[in-house]
């Protein structure tokens, strides 16, 4: 039913406008008439004035819902007296009187007025616009309205939606309209709104200012609440666009309904309560915010920081001490403040007795003093809305007390008489002055120097066209009474200048607006300036700067990981990988450390890698050095035993020179392991490989000389054939040849690509390993390949001759020694490849020591055991094979193999 009523009402307006727009013939009688009159309240003073300026102000906050039982559309009535809008209306009247008294502006012209209450609603605004164009008795637009005076322009109509509605109609006739509070950027479109200009900055600048303010405080997770009209929707839209350019996020975006709805208000409340956003932008007028504010108080929603638009930041209806626990610390943007001389006195000069027909003054008096004016039909404090707290009953409150007329205005403390924050009120004053200055320029035009072609003609008061006045309005520049320069640009806008205000409580417990900064927006340039320490209160538990984030800032050492399907402000903090750091908070990616650096434990800083090598002063290095020196001393002890007992039969029967060379080579290999310990240098890298290779080459070639002798002795005993004995010269030649070949390989290795010290700075390593680069791998493999070849020959010859009869079992001892040698080095390869750093070096040293100890133990300790602990076995009979009858169990020695086959003795005595 309500929808039908609205359609009928709009149809009536369309019909009326169509009829009024039809120009009939002069001789033709009127064929249309008005079915009714609009119910409009306001003030008119048009008699004896040259021109009239129209005005529209929201003296009431809403219209009373239509009676659904009445099918015929009627002009709605209004309720909810708005002291602020009433003050604006009075300010326009005061300004016009001031202009008429001035001699420098329009000296021969007086301005009258016709001002209507649009009740903060589009229908009432359209009614007022139609009355401005035609009056309520005319059938076509003639810009003389019901007063009979010529209409120069209109000031209004308050909110952006109201100005848009009025401008769509007034703009058809290019009638100048000057806005004082409509900031929607949509009105800057001169194609759609050609005759609209304003003295209040556009929301484009305010949206930039809000985004800059949020960036200044580092808030990234923002909620928005807007009124369900052009002002709120377009304002939030532009704010979102600017905010997204900073890569910040909108947590939620809710709308306050124009027609009160408990369910919709509750939805907004639930969203605010559930959201983690602690900073919320409120883009609405104070009249639209009323139900939401009461709901926030009812649900005790605290701990939010509200960012206010200029439409409600200085509203006395909201800035009350009882609302401070919920809205304290609010930050918002306000247009420039100014003092208007004589305004307070003019506002105070009001009383119902002066004009009993002034229904607005009577309603003001009743509402201000909470009484009922005698013999008046003006309703008092009537509210047809559903209670915003949710009680669900209609409020019809009538005061039991009658007004006496003796009430004192100076005792009132309400918005009407509060002239401490004249901001929108000052804009009303500037809007009136803008029309006055444009009319003054038009009146001063000199014929022949005018702006209109052809002939540079002028326009004259009162007979001019609206578009002629618009020429002066679009090029208007003037200085206001407070020294502010006002210049209208091509879009009908002025430069954006805002005071940044903060809601604080003073010592007396009153809520005050404290200026904490300013914002300038001219063209593409803007500047935000915040005063340090000016904000003394934040609506948080500890009164500290709120932290409004979806996810807490990722600390250094972590990076942001995107959550699929969620805004970029919602993320996971992922620790950086090894070798990567993030030094600053809230980084998207971790940075890789340089070659010589590694990430610390917190992953927030690159630190120099620890330089690692097997040092002498650490436990592992000291242990290996001890084993190396101990092994060398053992070899020297064996050498001393050999020297001391060199003439005994056991040592005389073996090649003592080869034995001494083997012992010397073992000393070399054991001590060469010490070259692997300590900080690598080029000389140590070269020396340790050469010493190790030559030491093993000498050792294995000497062992090969021994095993070859045993092999030949074994073959003689099996073949029963006299063979040429293995003379000492041949054995020495074999040793010399092997060593010379190894020396040649080593020399070529050193000449071609020698080993060198280098830093292993693999980025996967936590430390820098000081190692030796072995240079040419081919030469290294050839060099140690020769040692392997000699070891293999030693093993094969000793293995074959292991069954040679021998009291000492030298062939078996060499076989075991070579087995130990191969087992050690075969095990070394996988262990070496699976380790790194100093442990890699330690594995190599262990292999050197183990193989050296193995050869020492298997080759020499058995002989030392006999020499030192079993001297009875170190006799020529035992060694030479002549064993007494009582000791036939002792076998022949390999040092003197006797065969009596065919009465032939083959002697293989090893002569020195």
287, two tokens = 């009249």
- Any idea which of 30-34, 65-69, 369-373, 553-557 has the lowest mean pLDDT? 30-34
pLDDT bracket for residue 894 (50, 70, 90): very low
pLDDT bracket for residue 888 (50, 70, 90): very low
- Any idea which of 17-26, 132-141, 459-468 has the lowest mean pLDDT? 17-26
pLDDT of residue 896: 37
- Any idea which of 182-191, 390-399, 696-705 has the lowest mean pLDDT? 390-399
Tell me phi and psi for residue 205, to 5 degrees. Answer: -70, -40
Q: Please indicate whether residue 654 or residue 392 has the higher confidence score (pLDDT).
A: 654
pLDDT of residue 60: 92
Place of tokens 């003037």: 478
Q: At what angle do helices 810-833 and 682-719 cross, to 10 degrees?
A: 140
In the predicted structure, residue 4 carries a pLDDT above the cut 50 = no
pLDDT bracket for residue 910 (50, 70, 90): very low
Mean pLDDT for 136-159 is 72
pLDDT of residue 455: 81
Shortest CA distance to 415 belongs to which of 841, 44, 89?
Answer: 89
pLDDT of residue 252: 93
Return d(Cα 488, Cα 435) in angstroms, integer.
12
Helices (DSSP H) in 155-202: which residue ranges? 160-170
Within 10 Å of residue 889's Cβ, how many Cβ atoms?
6
- Any idea which of 106-110, 140-144, 570-574, 900-904 has the lowest mean pLDDT? 900-904
Which pairing describes strands 485-487 and 496-505: parallel, antiparallel, or unpaired?
Answer: unpaired
Mean pLDDT for 604-614 is 83
Q: How far is CA 379 from CA 80, 290, 352, 753, in A?
A: 11, 21, 15, 110
Q: How far is CA 814 from CA 507, 797, 857, in A?
A: 105, 10, 10
On whether the CB atoms of residues 285 and 310 are closer than 8 A, the answer is no
In the predicted structure, residue 728 carries a pLDDT above the cut 90 = no
pLDDT in tens, 678-718: 888 888 888 888 888 888 888 888 888 777 776 666 555 55
Return d(Cα 910, Cα 880) in angstroms, integer.
11
- Any idea which of 111-125, 345-359, 854-868 has the lowest mean pLDDT? 854-868
pLDDT of residue 702: 84
What pairs with residue 585 in β-bridges? none
pLDDT in tens, 632-683: 899 898 888 888 887 787 777 667 788 888 888 888 888 888 888 888 888 8
On whether the CB atoms of residues 356 and 346 are closer than 8 A, the answer is no
On whether the CB atoms of residues 424 and 312 are closer than 8 A, the answer is no
In the predicted structure, residue 903 carries a pLDDT above the cut 80 = no
pLDDT mean across residues, the chain: 81
Q: At what angle do helices 838-859 and 656-672 cross, to 10 degrees?
A: 160
465, two tokens = 């066209």
pLDDT in tens, 91-103: 999 999 999 999 9
In the predicted structure, residue 138 carries a pLDDT above the cut 60 = no
């Amino acid at each position: 039913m309500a929808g039908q009523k609205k359609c009928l009402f709009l149809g009536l307006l369309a019909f009326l406008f169509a009829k009024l727009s039809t120009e009939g013939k002069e001789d033709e009688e009127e064929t249309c008439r008005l079915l009714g009159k609009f119910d409009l309240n306001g003030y008119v003073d048009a008699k004896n004035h040259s021109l009239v300026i129209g005005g529209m102000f929201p003296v009431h906050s809403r219209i009373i819902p239509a009676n659904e039982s009445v099918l015929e559309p009627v002009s709605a009535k209004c309720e909810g007296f708005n002291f602020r809008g009433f003050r604006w209306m009075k300010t326009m009247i005061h300004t016009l009187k001031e202009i008429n008294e001035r001699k420098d502006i329009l000296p021969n012209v007086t301005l009258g007025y016709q001002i209507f209450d649009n009740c903060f609603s589009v229908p009432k605004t359209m009614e007022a616009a139609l009355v401005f164009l035609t009056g309520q008795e005319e059938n076509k637009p003639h810009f003389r309205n019901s007063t009979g005076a010529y209409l120069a322009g209109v000031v209004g109509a308050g909110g952006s939606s109201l100005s848009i509605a009025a401008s769509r109609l007034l703009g058809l006739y290019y009638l100048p309209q000057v806005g004082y509070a409509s900031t929607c950027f949509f009105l800057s479109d001169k194609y759609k709104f050609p005759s609209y200009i304003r003295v209040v900055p556009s929301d484009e600048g305010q949206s930039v200012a809000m985004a800059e303010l949020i960036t200044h405080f580092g808030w990234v997770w923002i909620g928005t609440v807007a009124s369900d009209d052009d002002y709120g929707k377009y304002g939030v839209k532009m704010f979102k666009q600017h905010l997204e350019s900073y890569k910040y996020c909108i947590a939620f975006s809710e709308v306050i309904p124009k027609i009160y709805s408990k369910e919709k208000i509750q939805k907004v409340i639930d969203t605010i309560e559930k959201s983690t956003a602690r900073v919320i932008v409120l883009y609405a007028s104070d009249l639209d915010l009323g139900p939401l504010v009461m709901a926030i108080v009812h649900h005790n929603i605290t701990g939010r920081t509200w960012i206010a638009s200029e439409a409600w930041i200085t509203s006395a209806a909201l800035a009350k001490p009882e609302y401070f626990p919920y809205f304290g610390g609010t930050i918002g943007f306000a247009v420039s403040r100014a003092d208007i001389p004589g305004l307070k006195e003019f506002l105070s000069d009001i009383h119902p007795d002066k004009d009993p027909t002034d229904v607005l003054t009577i309603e003001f008096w009743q509402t201000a003093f909470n009484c009922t004016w005698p013999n008046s039909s003006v309703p008092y404090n009537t509210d047809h809305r559903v209670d915003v707290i949710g009680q669900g009953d209609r409020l019809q409150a009538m005061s039991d007390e009658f007004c006496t007329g003796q009430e004192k205005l100076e005792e009132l403390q309400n918005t009407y008489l509060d002239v401490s924050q004249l901001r929108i009120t000052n804009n009303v004053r500037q809007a009136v002055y803008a029309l006055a200055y444009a009319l003054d320029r038009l009146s001063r035009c000199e014929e022949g120097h005018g702006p209109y072609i052809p002939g540079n003609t002028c326009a004259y008061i009162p007979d001019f066209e609206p578009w002629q006045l618009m020429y002066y309005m679009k090029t208007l520049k003037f200085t206001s009474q407070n020294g502010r320069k006002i210049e209208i640009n091509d879009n009908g806008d002025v430069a954006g200048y805002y005071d940044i205000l903060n809601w604080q409580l003073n010592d007396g417990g009153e809520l005050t607006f404290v200026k904490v900064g300013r914002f300038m927006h001219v063209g593409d340039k803007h500047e935000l300036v915040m005063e340090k320490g000016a904000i003394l209160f934040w609506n948080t538990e500890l009164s500290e700067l709120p932290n409004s984030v979806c996810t807490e800032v990722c600390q250094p050492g972590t990076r942001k990981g995107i959550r699929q399907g969620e805004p970029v402000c919602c993320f996971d903090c992922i620790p950086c990988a090894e070798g990567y750091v993030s030094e600053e908070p809230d980084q998207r990616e971790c940075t890789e450390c340089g070659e010589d650096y590694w990430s610390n434990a917190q992953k927030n800083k690159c630190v120099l890698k620890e330089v690692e090598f097997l040092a002498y002063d650490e436990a592992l290095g000291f242990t290996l050095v001890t084993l190396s020196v101990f092994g060398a001393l053992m070899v020297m002890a064996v050498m001393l035993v050999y020297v001391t007992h060199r003439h005994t039969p056991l040592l005389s029967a073996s090649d003592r020179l080869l034995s001494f060379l083997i012992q010397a080579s073992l000393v070399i290999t054991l001590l060469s392991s010490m070259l692997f310990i300590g900080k690598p240098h080029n000389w140590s890298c070269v020396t340790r490989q050469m010493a190790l290779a030559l030491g093993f080459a000498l050792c294995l070639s000497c062992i090969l000389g021994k095993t070859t002798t045993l092999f030949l002795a074994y073959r003689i005993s099996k073949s029963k054939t006299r063979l040429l004995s293995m003379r000492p010269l041949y054995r020495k030649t074999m040793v010399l040849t092997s060593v010379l070949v190894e020396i040649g390989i080593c020399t070529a290795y050193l000449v071609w690509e020698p080993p060198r010290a280098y830093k292993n700075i693999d980025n996967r390593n936590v430390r820098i390993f000081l190692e030796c680069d072995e240079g040419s791998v081919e030469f290294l493999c050839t060099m140690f390949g020769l040692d392997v070849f000699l070891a293999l020959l030693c093993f094969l010859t000793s293995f074959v001759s292991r069954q040679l009869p021998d009291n000492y079992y030298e062939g078996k001892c060499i076989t075991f020694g070579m087995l130990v040698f191969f087992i050690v080095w075969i095990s070394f390869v996988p262990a070496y490849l699976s380790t790194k750093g100093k442990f890699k070096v330690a594995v190599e040293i262990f292999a050197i020591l183990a193989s050296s100890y193995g050869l020492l133990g298997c080759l020499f300790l058995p002989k030392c055991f006999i020499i030192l602990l079993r001297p009875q076995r170190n006799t020529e009979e035992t060694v030479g094979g002549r064993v007494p009858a009582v000791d036939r169990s002792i076998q022949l020695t390999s040092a003197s193999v006797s065969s009596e086959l065919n009465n032939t003795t083959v002697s293989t005595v090893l002569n020195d």
